[in-house]
Amino acid sequence: MTNKISAEERVTERDLQEENRLIAERRAKLAGIRQQANAFPNVFRRSDYAAGLQERFGDESKEALESMGHEVSVAGRIMAKRGPFMVLQDVTGRIQLYADKTAQNRIRDQWGHWDIGDLVGVTGALHKSGKGDLYVNLEQYSLLTKSLRPLPDKHKGLSDTEIRYRQRYVDLIVNEDSRRVFQLRSKIIDYLRHYLNRHDFMEVETPMMQVIPGGATARPFITYHHSLDQEMFLRVAPELYLKRLVVGGFEKVYEINRNFRNEGLSTRHNPEFTMLEFYQAYADYQDLMNLTEDMLRGLCFDVLGSTEISYQGRAYDFSRPFTRMSVFDSILHYNPELQTSDIDNLDSALKVAQNLDIPHKQGWGLGKVQIEIFEKTVEHRLDNPTFITEYPTEVSPLARRSDENPFVTDRFEFFVGGREIANGFSELNDPEDQAERFMAQVREKEAGDHEAMHFDADYIRALEYGLPPTAGEGIGIDRLVMLLTDSPSIRDVLLFPHMRPE
pLDDT at 119 over 80: yes
258: nearest Cα among 433, 84, 498, 95: 498
HSE-up of residue 464 (Cα within 13 Å, Cβ side): 8
Superfamily (CATH) of domain 174-335+378-493: Bira Bifunctional Protein; Domain 2 (3.30.930.10)
CB 280 within 8 A of CB 471: yes
Residues found in the chain: 502
In terms of C-beta density within 10 A (0-12 exposed, 13-18 middle, 19 or more buried), how is residue 52 classed?
middle
Gyration radius of the chain over CA positions: 29
Residue 259 has pLDDT above 90, yes or no: yes
What does the pLDDT average to over 216-240?
Answer: 92
Mean pLDDT along residues 458-466: 97
Q: What is the pLDDT of residue 1?
A: 46
Distance CA(401)–CA(418), nearest Å, equals: 26
Q: Report the chain's mean pLDDT, rounded to a whole number.
A: 92
Q: What is the per-residue pLDDT across 276-296, written as a single tens digit (0 to 9) for each?
A: 999 999 999 999 999 999 999
The secondary element (H helix, E strand) that includes residue 290 is helix 285-304
* Topology at the third CATH level for domain 10-151: OB fold (Dihydrolipoamide Acetyltransferase, E2P) (2.40.50)
* Residues 410 and 400: beta-carbon distance below 8 Å: yes
Distances (CA, A) of 310 to 268, 295, 314, 486: 18, 18, 5, 7
pLDDT category at 260 given cuts 50, 70, 90 is: very high
Is it the case that residue 4 has pLDDT exceeding 70? no
Domain extents in the chain: 10-151, 174-335+378-493
3-state secondary structure of 372: helix
Has residue 129 got a pLDDT over 60? yes
Please say if the pLDDT value at position 7 is more than 60. no
- Is residue 5 over pLDDT 60? no
* Cα 58 off chain centre by: 34
